[in-house]
Structure 1
Amino acid sequence: MDALSLLDWRRSVASLYAEVRATAEPADGHALWCAGRETLLRDHPQSPVPTAARAEFRLRTWPYDPAYRFVVPVLATADEVRSVSTPTDGLVSQDRVGRVQLGDLGGLDVWWLAVYGGGVFVPLRDATSGDTTYGGGRYVLDTAKGADLGGGRRDLVIDLNFAYPPSCAYDPAWVCPLPGAGNRLDAAVPVGEQVQS
């Protein structure tokens, strides 16, 4: 039954992001995402939030700021492969497929995760990491698990308002790939999900 529960979690995440993409105003999509994410983290059996903490769980995010939403082309870069050994998924390979430039904030590497069916992965670590956000960083996109904000054939919607901590932020039993050097911004990104108090 755990497999079916995990399937339901992934379907729920994918459905939530589909609803976000279909919303005309990004701020309205963000409000929908916040409510849906809080419900999943609090109520779903596959939530990474420890069971004892779920009843009191409330999602903490900054207000939506349109200055942190970008629709940007994926720029070509030199090939790079990173491999992360995990106890649950074995060796997880990440292939860099390009880079996005986020205005004056800087750039982030775009990875292809060679797990499950594969997917685009854009993690982020910034000056808020370890202070108001999870110290290991946050995820902006993880399309292998349904976290996809859209884009075209050669570009991506990178909306940092949707940055969220990986599962290991809630429970150390989870093992999560974290941002490398190409996914670190010197500036603070005061949008997205904050650490729980």
Structure 2
Amino acid sequence: MTLALADWRRRVNELYAAVRVAADPQAAWRMWRAERDELLGLHAQSPLSEDQKRTFTGLTFFDYDPALRFTPELDPVPDAAPCEIDIGQDGIINLLPFARTRGLADALGGELTLYWIGGYGGGVFLPFADAHSATYGGGRYLLDGIKGADLGRTDAGSPILDFNFAYNPSCAYNGPEQSTAGWVCPLAPAENHLQHPVAVGEQSFHRPT
């Protein structure tokens, strides 16, 4: 299982590397969707159970909307206290707020905080929740440095935040509410709950009945 996890991370890193160099963001998004379907449906490290894999036919996404691709400015968050989040058997994850977006409020109903993941290696983490009834209530991820989820930067240094690439955390597919062995994930802090619906990216996972 250790080698399977290493393979999962390698494939995710390679996928996002391909997304970052793609000339057409929508074509990159289609490639990203196809690879995510394959990983979830077939890989040993998929958050889906074996029963779920047998009936899995693909994730549900909103249509691609280029208007929800942004390159916002970032304002530093000085003297911020880290957030400690219990993630079950994996212990405690420390998230240090380090920047706040500037330029998203009109489109999304609020700005977002970016976090640095504490611990060896670290990484940028951007979780958010929105007001759409078809998205996972615990929130979705856009950036996750540990998993290699990084959409790149502009030449001027602004982060690329393309919400079409928003995806569900593992607990959305198979969390503690479904299984005693379910996944426990860091969810979006209150400051990253947006007032507007964000009708792009991955929708809630519909489990077979």
Per the normalisation by structure 1, the TM-score is 0.93
User: Cα distance, 1:6 vs. partner?
Assistant: 0.3
User: Cα distance, 1:72 vs. partner?
Assistant: 1.8
1:112 and 2:116 correspond? yes
1:171 and 2:180 correspond? no
1:39 and 2:42 correspond? no
User: Cα distance, 1:51 vs. partner?
Assistant: 1.3
CA contact (8 A) 2:86 2:186 kept: no
Identity of aligned residues (%): 45
Structural mapping, 1:108-187, within 5 Å = 108-115=112-119, 117-128=121-132, 131-152=133-154, 154-172=157-175, 173-187=182-196
Kindly tell me: are residues 115 and 174 of structure 1, through their superposed partners in 2, closer, same or farther at Cα, counting changes over 3 Å?
farther
Q: Any stretches of 5+ residues in structure 2 without a counterpart?
A: 176-181
User: Cα distance, 1:84 vs. partner?
Assistant: 1.0
The alignment yields a C-alpha RMSD, in angstroms, of 1.4
How many residues get paired? Answer: 194
For the residue of structure 2 that corresponds to 1:165, the secondary structure is coil
Q: 1-side partners of 2:90 and 2:196: how far apart?
A: 32
User: Cα distance, 1:154 vs. partner?
Assistant: 4.2
Q: Any stretches of 5+ residues in structure 1 without a counterpart?
A: none
Q: Structure 1 segments of 4 or more deviating over 6 A?
A: none
For the residue of structure 2 that corresponds to 1:148, the secondary structure is coil
For the residue of structure 2 that corresponds to 1:144, the secondary structure is coil
Structural mapping, 1:49-128, within 5 Å = 49-57=48-56, 58-78=58-78, 79-101=80-102, 102-104=104-106, 105=108, 106-115=110-119, 117-128=121-132
Q: 2-side partners of 1:41 and 1:138: how far apart?
A: 16
For the residue of structure 2 that corresponds to 1:75, the secondary structure is strand
For the residue of structure 2 that corresponds to 1:193, the secondary structure is coil
Match of 1:193 among 195, 198, 202: 202
Q: 2-side partners of 1:188 and 1:163: how far apart?
A: 13
Deviation by residue 1:125-166 (Cα, 9 ceiling, x = unmatched): 0001xx211110100110111111011574211111111110
CA contact (8 A) 2:72 2:158 kept: yes
For the residue of structure 2 that corresponds to 1:136, the secondary structure is coil
For the residue of structure 1 that corresponds to 2:72, the secondary structure is strand
For the residue of structure 2 that corresponds to 1:156, the secondary structure is coil
Aligned AA (1:83): E
For the residue of structure 1 that corresponds to 2:8, the secondary structure is helix
CA contact (8 A) 1:74 1:154 kept: no
- What residue number does 1:11 align with? 10
- What residue number does 2:24 align with? 25
Aligned AA (1:14): N
User: Cα distance, 1:41 vs. partner?
Assistant: 0.6
Q: 1-side partners of 2:43 and 2:150: how far apart?
A: 20
Aligned AA (2:198): V
CA contact (8 A) 2:172 2:205 kept: no
For the residue of structure 2 that corresponds to 1:20, the secondary structure is helix
For the residue of structure 2 that corresponds to 1:6, the secondary structure is helix
